[in-house]
Amino acid sequence: MRSDRERWREARLLLIVSALSERDSGAEAVDVFALDFLLQHPSLLRAFLRSSKLELPANVVPSEVEAESSEEALLRWKRSVSARILAPMVGRLIARGLIRRRPRGQFELAIRGEEVAKQLRQVTGGMERERLAGLAALLAMDPRAARQSLLAALAEGSN
């Protein structure tokens, strides 16, 4: 049986695919996983924002207290991107008909997924919703630069 935390993480993955698939090219798996990772780990989100020189509204940037409560960076990385965790969650979203893969591998919402994502947006907390929307917009502007900033944040966090 899946925990509430796992169910919420699957819901967040669906919202991430929704936010990123607004681009014509769909949502790249690497971007979906990176955005999930940043949302889950406030200390690295702060480092990502510093290294990318991108800005989110002040009310959605993780506070210092929120960032300090995070676990050690390497352990978070291992837990967050593990094929044992994210891949099965994405698989369940595909199996439920909420997302689908495009021929070139990107994710996009299925019609049923659009309906569920709309409902989830209505019940998701304001800060989490704004943080996700802001990060998705930043990622959409320049995915390559965002990926480089994530690598820089990870390097900073592991020192």
pLDDT tens, 68-110? Answer: 665 545 555 555 566 667 778 888 899 999 999 888 778 899 9
Please report whether residue 51 resides in a domain. yes
* Residue 98 belongs to some domain of the structure: yes
Task: Flag whether pLDDT at 55 surpasses 80.
Answer: no
pLDDT value for 80: 58
Residue 48 lies in a domain: yes
Q: What pLDDT score was predicted for residue 145?
A: 84
By the 10 Å C-beta count (0-12 exposed, 13-18 middle, 19+ buried), 126 is classed as exposed
Domains identified in the chain, total number? 1
pLDDT for 109 equals 92
127 found inside a domain: yes
Q: Are the beta carbons of 77 and 56 closer than 8 angstroms?
A: no
**Does 32 reside within a domain?**
yes
The pLDDT of residue 129 is above 80 = yes
Cβ neighbors of 136 (< 8 A, separation 6 or more) are 16, 19, 20, 22, 35
Whole-prediction pTM value?
Answer: 0.68
Q: What is the mean pLDDT of the chain?
A: 80
Range of the domain at 126: 4-154
CB 139 within 8 A of CB 35: yes
Asked if residue 159 belongs to a domain, the reply is: no
